[in-house]
Structure 1
Amino acid sequence: LCLPIVLRQPLEGGDPVLRLLVILGVSLGGPVFAVCTTTPLLQKWFSAGRHPLADDPYFLYAASNLGSMVALLSYPILLEPNLTLVQQSWVWACGYGAVVVLTLSCGVMLWRQGPQPLSVVPESEDDSSLESSGRSRWLWVLFSFVPASWLLAVTTKVTGELVPIPMLWVVPLSIYLLTFILAFSRWQPMSHVWMVRSFPVAILLLLFLRSDSVLQEMVKHLAVFFVGAMVFHGELARRRPGTSRLTAFYVWMAVGGVLGGMFNSLVGPLLFPSYWEYPLTLLLACLLFWRFRSEHDPKQVNWWVFLPEGMAVAVVLLLAVARGSLVDGLVTVVPLVILGFLAKRLTLVFALGVGVVLLATEFGDLFQDQKAVLHSERTFFGVHRVLRDVETGFHELHHGRTMHGMQNTEPSRRHEPLAYFHRSGPLGQVFDEFSGENAKSRIAVVGLGTGTMVAYREPGQHFTFYEIDPSIKRIAESPHLFTYLSDSGRDAYDIVVGDGRLMLARARDKSFGMIILDAFSSDVIPVHLLTREALELYYRKLSDDGFLVIHISNPHVSLGPVLGNLAADAGSRCWICRDQFVPTGLQESGREPTLYAVIAREEAHLGGLLDSKSDLPWIEITPDEPEAAWTDDFSDVFNILR
């Protein structure tokens, strides 16, 4: 395992992609390469043996992916909640040792059989139709590139734009591995021909079947990804060569997978302002579908040939009736049927039509839901958009579906802190209590957002913001987008770009009266900010009567128990304040439901905050049976999911 907290070179400003690749390559490259090359090696040895299935050892690839899938699902459910990183390292070391021993045992068994004449293995049925081995390699690369790129694209779509739930990325990766298992296993529960015939229907449903339900949208994208991955992995399995070219087959498959990953992880963020990899990958999939679709046309047309299209039309109409809008369903069915006909007769035209619709949909996002896009910027950390609400005139900062702050653009009201930082909310209570003579002179904030918190600044106060993404700094300091920082003046704040914990460690001890953590509202929970060692760091940087304020508004994870255990472990106390039911009038004024926590070594350090007569009381978290606090060596995200 490789954690940023133990890196010798901290991740400071700039794009960390190259440094992460170097770090992961040095720390994990060797073991990963050794394990990945074991699969083709064992299959090659197996094909040289006397086993009845030696002529076609590719079912072992299905077994290999089954093992990967079991390991993937076991880690968050079994290993991470029960083992520390040190213990996990020992488990992996033993596992690698077992792999070495078992691999050597297989080699010894093959050697003891004595030299065996290699059997002349007939190539798969498609080999004879290929013009050259070079053409085969290109197809292997392309057919592995598409599902690999599709995997990353749909993962970003689902976890970043639809449902920002931590660890949801496990689902599409499991689907990806499952399609490998089904495509290369000797038992074929799903006909490859049926998958091919269903592919254009699935694409059309993806384009034209719309739902207001986020869950239904997520299921739709994942279901279509399953069909697409089954089609291309099925083509790889159908075009697999004989054992004489087995190694080359896996090498070129790996090349395609690596290129697909690089396209999404490296090329996409550099070239595309938004997640264009998704529509471009779907377009490439449709173009490649044109390459092999005719090979699966039935010799005789029967009624079942049109069953996938009929089922798609039925699904669209049933959902339309369920929503009470049959007309919308009919409007959806017409282009679906037309493009479905093109998919059968004019596959290239179908692919280009799909590309036009996908790009139109992507550009259509520039104005939707009464919000205009003022600014869009993509970095390694994702796509950040600044939207303008047409009705209220508010400017909002969004990362996927998560809003990170808003501002009223009226000159007389643009100094008001809004959203999760509203004056009538929990954070407003904190700053009201520590104002005037009680105001903290220096405040550290991990997470910049729009810079809203500087609106609470009083004369003589100084805010130090720690922000890992340089693009957020540019956005917050752009007066045409947000003016919280520019209105406050340069002497009111400074911004340190880099990992919050690592950069905070460089500050002088006892230099802050308050530390505010605002980094837990998205799908990625920075665990290293909520560990025993992190709390010890915060206490070193806080004054003797300083305290922590943590913004933990997140609909998908419950961080309250984590903070309660952390405080109890440190001999401190923790209180939370829930602002979940915001009156309609205040919602229109820019107040959002929020959840905050404070941690202090002594109750007296919070002044009269806990005695506030507000409708939003602070309730102490006192775990009946405190669990182990998170540490740099142990955490358990799975069990705090809501």
Structure 2
Amino acid sequence: TDIASAPFLWIVPLTLYLATFIIAFSRSGERIMPVSRELTAYALCFVVLAFMIAHFSTTMIPLMLIHLAAFFLCALYCHSRLAAWKPAPAHLTQYFLLISFGGVLGGILNALVAPQLFTVPLEYPLVLSLVAFLLWHDAAHKPAIFTKFNMMDDRKKPQKLLALDLATIAVGLGGFVFVACSDNGMTRIIGAIGVLIYLIIMAPNRRVFAISCAASLLLFSPAVFKYEQSILDMQRNYFGVLKVAQQDKAHIFFHGTTIHGAQWFDGNNADKPVPTTYYSPGGPASDVFKNLSRHKGEQYVAALGMGVGSIACYSAPSRHFDFYEIDREVVKVAENTEYFTYLSGCGSPYSVILGDARNKIAQAQANRYDLIFVDTFSSDNIPVHMMTREAIALYLQKLKPEGVIAINISNRYLDLRPVIQAIANDLSIPV
């Protein structure tokens, strides 16, 4: 969710999903199931590792490959089990109808139910945890190589091994909690390797593995593991997870994994807040407004994307701000004076236009704005339709002849400067 809201990003997982369905229902599906079952267990181990090192990783490609491989193996294993239940020809209609219904139900749970049920995106680790317990259910089927490790084989002497299993789980979970609570980066990295080794060793004992793996998946999920600040408010909707956290004397607004605004409350600037982050005095946004202040008369500024309303503090006589924001909850956060006071404390007259910014600004009067400030991000994700040639051409129509378009192009994964430069060259706009 941190790259771009473009449909092509779904091609790879969708292709893998369909491929596993084809493989599972092929003539080779029955032979593949035992292999996929064993590989799935170890894939889950590496997903835990990916969760734990995600915060320290400087590149996303290895982590993406781990998740895609785990997704492929988990889907192949589940589809293989589904194929193994295929009934006689007389009942195939009901069988495939139920499969289709399951797909619809899964889509409803992901798109509609989960955002209402969970304040953080726990669906992924929860489903992986269910796969781990499904492996436990299949514990009677093991490759021969593991049978010599009798102490790990949960098929033998289950009552005598119960105490050992509980002790092993307790030690493992204790280690997990210690690693999660550590503030030292090296401790976490070493701990991640230790957790990986522990889970691999426990893999033959499906009972211990299922409980330990599920606990570690949920504990180390980025949805939980990365939220370390004092949380003042957290909510989730269709557009993602919104969080207001307190760190020292600052309130910080997160959308997904990205900071979308902050304000210091040190006792000196609560009534007259000073913009921070991208909009701090002396930064690029400050330079844009200094240039705008040279123009006299009534001024209108369009902010595509509201954040916490920081730019409202670049107020001036006869300057009005129009905030275009698609997410109603973002507006509520920005206007809540317990969290941020930019809108209430800077005295700038403003209006909020709810809806997709590109569609809504298309309805604005031509040549209305002296400045159009484009900062429409969902987490670190770029709504691609806001930065196309057609979108920039639309903004030009709403801009006064001497107006300026300012675009926030900061991004952790994509270099947007060449894109904007190419569009500007094509439209003959000076940059």
TM-score scaled by length of structure 1: 0.54
Gaps of 5+ in 2: 153-185
In the alignment, which residue of structure 2 is the partner of 1:284?
A: 130
What pairs with 1:116-155 in structure 2 (closer than 5 Å)? none
Question: Is 1:457 aligned to residue 315 of structure 2?
Answer: yes
Equivalent position of 1:434 in the other structure:
292
Percent of pairs with identical residues: 35
Q: 1:434 to 1:364 in 2, by over 3 A?
A: closer
From 251, 258, 262, the counterpart of 1:406: 262
Change (3 A) 1:260 1:553: same
Tell me the SS of whatever aligns to 2:277.
coil
Q: State the SS of the aligned residue for 2:423.
A: helix
Counterparts of 1:68-147 in structure 2 under 5 Å? none
Residue 365 of structure 1: how far off its partner (Å): 3.0
Deviations 1:71-115 (A, max 9, x none): xxxxxxxxxxxxxxxxxxxxxxxxxxxxxxxxxxxxxxxxxxxxx
Aligned-residue Cα RMSD (Å) equals: 3.5
| Cα displacement (A) at 1:275 | 0.8
Of 26, 29, 43 in structure 2, the residue corresponding to residue 185 of structure 1 is 26
Once the two structures are superposed, the pairs formed by residues 512-551 of structure 1 within 5 Å of their partners are: 512-520=369-377, 524-551=381-408
CA contact (8 A) 2:48 2:196 kept: no
2:297 and 2:318 in contact (8 A); partners too = no
Distance in 2, matches of 1:506 and 1:244, equals 58
Distance 2:329 2:300 in 1: 25
Aligned partners of 1:230 and 1:478: how far apart in 2?
Answer: 47
Q: Tell me how far 1:244 sits from its aligned partner.
A: 3.4
Note if 1:483 corresponds to 2:341. Answer: yes
Q: In the TM superposition, what is the alpha-carbon distance from 1:237 to its structure 2 partner?
A: 2.4
Once residues 49 and 405 of structure 2 are traced to their aligned partners in structure 1, the CA distance between those partners, rounded to angstroms, is: 48
Residue 363 of structure 1, CA deviation: 10
Are positions 1:340 and 2:203 aligned together?
A: yes
Q: Residues 146 and 204 of structure 2 are in contact (CA less than 8 Å); yes or no, is this contact kept in structure 1? A: no
For residue 480 of structure 1, give the secondary structure of its aligned residue in structure 2.
Answer: coil
Indicate yes or no: 2:343 matched with 1:502. no
Rounded Cα–Cα distance in structure 2 between residues aligned with 1:302 and 1:352: 21
Offset, 1:532: 4.9
Displacement, 1:504?
A: 1.7
SS in 2 for 1:191: helix
Cα separation, 2, equivalents of 1:488 and 1:325: 43
- 1:421 correspondence with 2:279: yes
Report matched runs for 1:312-351 at 5 Å: 328=191, 331-332=194-195, 335-336=198-199, 339-340=202-203, 342-343=205-206, 347=207, 350-351=209-210
What is the aligned residue count?
Answer: 390
CA–CA separation in structure 1 for the residues paired with 2:148 and 2:135: 23
The 1:351–1:208 alpha-carbon spacing in structure 2 relative to 1, beyond 3 Å, is same
Change (3 A) 1:405 1:291: same
Letter in 1 for 2:114: G
Contact 2:45 2:196 in 1 (8 A): no
Letter in 1 for 2:26: S
Is 2:260 aligned against 1:397? no
Question: Counterpart of 1:515 in 2: which secondary structure?
Answer: strand
For residues 276-313 of structure 1, what are the alpha-carbon distances to aligned partners after superposition, in whole Å with 9 as ceiling and x for unaligned?
A: 2223322332333344442x245896569999xxxxxx
Task: Indicate conservation of the 8 Å contact 1:417/1:452, yes or no.
Answer: yes
How far residue 179 of structure 1 moved from its aligned partner, in angstroms, is 1.9
Structure with max Cα Rg = 1
Indicate the SS of the match to 2:230: strand
- 2:189 and 2:417 map into 1 onto residues whose CA distance is 46
Report if aligned partners of 1:273, 1:376 keep a CA contact under 8 Å in 2.
yes
Distance 1:478 1:519 in 2: 20
Select 1:206's aligned residue among 47, 53, 68: 47
The change in CA–CA distance for 1:275 and 1:499 in structure 2 (over 3 A counts) is: same
Q: Equivalent residue of 1:574, what SS? A: coil
1:175 alignment partner, one of 3, 16, 23: 16
Distance 1:368 1:536, change over 3 A: closer
CA distance in 1, matches of 2:422, 2:4: 25
- Counterpart CA distance in 2 for 1:364 and 1:469 is 21
Per-residue CA deviation, residues 327-382 of structure 1 (Å, 9 max, x unaligned), is 64774267426753541xxx3x654554444444469937755x332221101111
Provide the secondary structure at the position in 1 that maps to 2:242. strand
SS at match of 2:278: coil
C-alpha distance 179-274 of structure 1, shift in aligned 2 (>3 A):
same
Q: Separation in 2 of the partners of 1:331 and 1:367?
A: 20
